[in-house]
Structure 1
């Protein structure tokens, strides 16, 4: 990526949402040249499959489908299916984000029904500070669900979950969620400009 013609370099920023956010946190933790990372409703944990990179490995947190709830609409609510966070910020299933070279911005929806993103962001903050890192910036949006996408994208309140092969609730109230998408984009641009420099003109 650092060799791409549109990459200013020498370092890059990463932006991910949900599982993509956790992949970005892994990249920031294990790879060089990552100067800034934005996690949108990531968990900070390895949730489904253990990861391996060189001599590093992080086990999976796992889940229990018996904790799935059925909403009034008939859609599944999976917010409680992940296993309890035993050990808090030192849980072995947590991504070692303290190894990241650059700052991390956590953007979370308080009505996320995929998992408890706000709780996970607080645990991530505790882990960073326990390892002598600065307290990260956490921007939390009330009435906002899981898929905080770019401004003016239509809200996705529910859809088919690829692992369960059933429709699930993602959360969010349309007005609050839409306003959060507009503000979050501004916050992301400000964060990257601060830590990577102004965006190059195309």
Structure 2
């Protein structure tokens, strides 16, 4: 993963907007981790997006160069010396990334103030992949500083990085392709399980509110 071109995702957005089963006028985006960060980038640069929900996503571009037309956003730098490895060889990378508010890192901060949608940040407060709560707080500050509406931020104590649909088993550690070794994702099983159940409801309510204008429960379909 060296470069990602937003035109690729723009093609998908336009396809969905023209689909006969999509109500419109806009669509919703849902992403987790790097996918959440990509959703922020899509919402910031592409048209036709009404609501964006990200689960433990970043507000800085990470891992690869992002390109859209004549715009280039470099990846946020990192320092491998800040990675801790336990006796089992599993890495804790939560401190590896640089601060996107300082120095060269500012160039990696995604201009989410350009977005014309509402945001929902789902945050696991025991996320060990990166500092998701920090990203959500700074994203919220950034939006409000530019006159945008305050996003919804829902934090879950004891929840790790992979907040998936309800009843998926918690993923405590697995191989991280960018790091090249197993990493710990964080989370306490019971708290993480409860977070997955509640987050699923929060996400559905968010999309019902901003995509249909109806409260959740009025229809089985979004």
**TM-score if structure 2 supplies the norm length?**
0.85
Return the offset for 1:69: 0.1
Q: In the alignment, which residue of structure 2 is the partner of 1:151?
A: 166
Q: In the alignment, which residue of structure 2 is the partner of 1:32?
A: 47
Contiguous gaps of at least 5 residues in structure 1: none
Distance 1:192 1:25, change over 3 A: same
| Counterpart-to-counterpart distance in 2, 1:78 and 1:149 | 20
More helix by share: 2
SS of 1:13's equivalent in the other structure is strand
Greater CA deviation, 157-166 or 4-13?
Answer: 4-13
Return the offset for 1:200: 6.8
Q: Counterparts in 2 of 1:99-138, with a 5 A limit? A: 99-138=114-153
| Contact kept in structure 2, 1:12 and 1:34, CA below 8 Å | yes
**Deviations 1:106-164 (CA, angstroms, capped at 9, x unpaired):** 00100000001001111101110111112111100000000000111111110001112
**TM-score if structure 1 supplies the norm length?**
0.93
| Contact kept in structure 1, 2:100 and 2:108, CA below 8 Å | no
SS of 2:107's equivalent in the other structure is coil
Contiguous gaps of at least 5 residues in structure 2: 1-15
SS of 1:159's equivalent in the other structure is strand
Q: In the alignment, which residue of structure 2 is the partner of 1:160?
A: 175
| Counterpart-to-counterpart distance in 2, 1:31 and 1:177 | 33
Alpha-carbon RMSD across the aligned residues, in angstroms, is 1.8
| Contact kept in structure 2, 1:8 and 1:200, CA below 8 Å | no
SS of 1:14's equivalent in the other structure is strand
| Counterpart-to-counterpart distance in 2, 1:200 and 1:58 | 39
Q: Counterparts in 2 of 1:174-189, with a 5 A limit? A: 174-189=189-204
| Counterpart-to-counterpart distance in 2, 1:201 and 1:68 | 44
Distance 1:133 1:174, change over 3 A: same
